[in-house]
Amino acid sequence: MVTATATRKSAKPSARKAPKHTPALQRVIPYQEKVRLMVIEVLREESGRELAASARFNGQEFDWEQHNARFRKDYAETSLRDLLTYARKLYGLQNLDEVRDRRAAHKATRTGRLNALNGLSTTDDLDTDEEFEVDLEEDVNLDD
């Protein structure tokens, strides 16, 4: 006696699902987080400059890429309040205005370095790092 066994194919749709739409403003990080990230970047730059100078003084190499990656990982979850405490204690930055000013100085230095590498004069009218600056004191609630 011969029995036929039917093989069933699973009915899987061959088309992939379209990604779920998320409105643009829901994909943007909140203002408070942007401020926190700005403070992290200022502290990263300041500490890197200090450690690089120390390494140069001692005849050692300093790896900026390693420092940047490690710093961001180490302080990824640190609160804005704690970051501002570090900024005050280690670099004398008393408030967000001073942090923002230091960030602007870092950007100016970086732009000058890039201009020198690209053969541009620092007096040229080109602003290669122009960016909308936000008033960081506005709407920042440190008690959150």
pLDDT of residue 19: 81
Our separate counts of H helices and E strands in the chain read 5, 0
pLDDT of residue 42: 97
Residue 23 within a domain: no
Residue 74 within a domain: yes
Could you tell me where the beta strands, DSSP code E, fall in 8-67? none
User: Which long-range contacts (C-beta less than 8 Å, at least 24 apart) are formed by 47-50?
Assistant: 47/71, 47/90
Q: Which two tokens stand for residue 10?
A: 């699973």
* Mean per-residue pLDDT pooled into runs of 10, the chain (144 residues): 53 68 89 95 96 96 96 95 97 96 93 85 47 43 45
pLDDT of residue 65: 96
Residue 143 within a domain: no
Q: Are 78 and 39 in contact, with CB atoms under 8 Å apart?
A: no
Residue 60 within a domain: yes
**pTM for the full model?**
0.65
Residue 81 within a domain: yes
pLDDT of residue 121: 54
Task: Give CA–CA dist 123/111, Å, rounded.
Answer: 12
Residue 141 within a domain: no
Domain range for 107 is 29-117
Number of domains within the chain: 1
Residue 131 within a domain: no
